[in-house]
């Protein structure tokens, strides 16, 4: 394990401050600072950016973000036991790190950040997915962030980047890829974490597009996609029959085959259908 700053190694930080990982908080820590710096680099050039980090824990990734030159880091951590360790990092990087002890699901970070903003997080997987959906569905587009670099369970990461025709393709893929470029940039084995989780993990990097890939009303698109994938084995004409009595005509007008199944339809097709419905 190497050091990227003059702070103590993370194992020592955890021992000094009594931050043994708690399952109830979804804590699986990254203790290798080479690895956390590598994850920070996946977020792109941080030098001119404010970074929102959610769930810093003992601060491994936080230290990676700061050593990679982030202009400022706002770190939101729910577990108050981590505060003294994070304060030490703050002292080592004067004026660069602000820590807030809060539940990220209940805090609006915007007041604390100045654009351009990048988001980086290694969160418990359920919180990560909930925040991802929120970040992908703001009232207005483009969103407050330029990019999201997030750790997920590998299976969820595969659903985010899935292409039509694959089993993993569904609502999450469409939600993500309609308005972002989404890529898996790293895969991590369980042993990378302390304690090791049961599953493999992957880092997904999403870059916000200036505007949606294809025009569509977000609420209509979301409704169509939810219905289509709710019964993903059915043909579109039956899966979507609750939407309109004229669903076959709408599908044909959108350039889709009524006998296709949801997982064969590219994002462009769902957007065309949403536009036909809005007519």
55 binds ligand SAM (CB under 6 A): yes
- Residue 73 in contact with ligand SAM, rule: CB under 6 A: no
C-beta of residue 248 within 8 angstroms of C-beta of residue 258: yes
Buried b (16+ CB within 10 A) or exposed e, 198-224: eeebbbbbbebeeebebebebebbbeb
- Looking at residues 30 to 49 of the shown chain, list those that interact with ligand SAM (rule: CB under 6 A): 30
The window from 101-109, 140-148, 179-187, 213-221 that contacts ligand SAM (CB under 6 A) reads: 101-109
Which residue is it, tokens 């915007």? 110
Joined together, the tokens standing for residue 49 give 């950016």
- What DSSP designation does 233 have? T
Q: Give the integer Cα–Cα distance in Å for 59 and 83.
A: 10
Q: What secondary structure letter does DSSP report for 78?
A: S
Query: How far apart are CB 35 and ligand SAM at their closest, in Å?
Result: 9
- Please select the residue that binds ligand SAM; options are 14, 26, 148, 262, rule is CB under 6 A: 26
CA gap 10, 98 in Å, rounded: 19
| Contact range with ligand SAM by CB under 6 A, out of 25-33, 154-162, 169-177, 243-251 | 25-33
How far apart are alpha carbons 86 and 53 in whole angstroms? 12
Q: Judged by CB under 6 A, which of 77, 158, 263, 276 binds ligand SAM?
A: 77
Q: Which is nearer to ligand SAM, 123 or 254 (CB)?
A: 123
Residues in the chain: 279
Question: In angstroms, what is the minimal distance from the CB of 269 to ligand SAM?
Answer: 36
Instruction: Please state the closest distance from residue 201 (CB atom) to ligand SAM, in A.
Output: 9
d(CA 73, CA 120) in angstroms, rounded, equals: 10
Q: Min. distance of Cβ 150 from ligand SAM in angstroms?
A: 11
> For residue 174, what are the CA distances in angstroms to 92, 107, 197, 219, 244?
42, 27, 28, 13, 22
Q: Which of 7, 13, 14, 28 binds ligand SAM (CB under 6 A)?
A: 28
124 sits near ligand SAM (criterion: CB under 6 A): yes
Tokens of 218: 């977000």
| Closer to ligand SAM by Cβ: residue 60 or 143 | 60
55/170 with CB nearer ligand SAM: 55
Interacting residue with ligand SAM among 35, 40, 52, 57 (CB under 6 A): 57
Name the residues that contact ligand SAM, by CB under 6 A.
25-30, 54-57, 60-61, 76-79, 82, 103-105, 122-124, 127
């Amino acid at each position: 394990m190497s050091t990227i700053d003059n702070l103590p190694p993370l194992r020592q930080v955890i021992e000094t401050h009594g931050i043994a990982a708690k399952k109830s908080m979804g804590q699986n820590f990254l203790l290798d600072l080479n690895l956390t710096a590598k994850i920070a680099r996946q977020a792109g050039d941080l030098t001119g950016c404010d970074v929102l980090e959610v769930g810093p824990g003992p601060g491994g990734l936080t230290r990676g973000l700061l050593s990679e030159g982030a202009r400022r880091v706002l770190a939101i951590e729910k577990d108050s036991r981590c505060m003294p360790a994070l304060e030490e990092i703050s002292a080592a990087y004067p004026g660069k790190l602000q820590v807030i002890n809060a539940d990220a699901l209940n805090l609006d970070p915007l007041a604390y950040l100045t654009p351009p903003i990048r988001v980086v997080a290694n969160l418990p997987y359920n919180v990560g997915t909930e925040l991802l959906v929120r970040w992908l569905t703001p009232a207005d587009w483009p969103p407050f962030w330029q990019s999201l670099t997030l750790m997920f369970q590998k299976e969820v990461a595969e659903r985010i980047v899935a292409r039509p025709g694959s089993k993993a393709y569904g609502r999450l893929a469409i939600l993500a890829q309609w308005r972002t470029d989404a890529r898996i940039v790293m895969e991590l084995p369980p042993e990378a974490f302390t304690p090791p989780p049961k599953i493999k993990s992957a880092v997904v990097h999403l870059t916000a597009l200036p505007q949606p890939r294809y025009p569509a009303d977000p609420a209509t698109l979301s409704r169509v996609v939810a219905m289509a994938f709710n019964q993903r084995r059915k043909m579109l004409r039956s899966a979507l029959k609750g939407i309109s009595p004229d669903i076959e005509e709408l599908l044909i007008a959108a350039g889709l085959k009524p006998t296709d199944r949801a997982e064969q339809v590219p994002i462009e097709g769902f957007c065309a259908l949403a536009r036909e419905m809005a007519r």
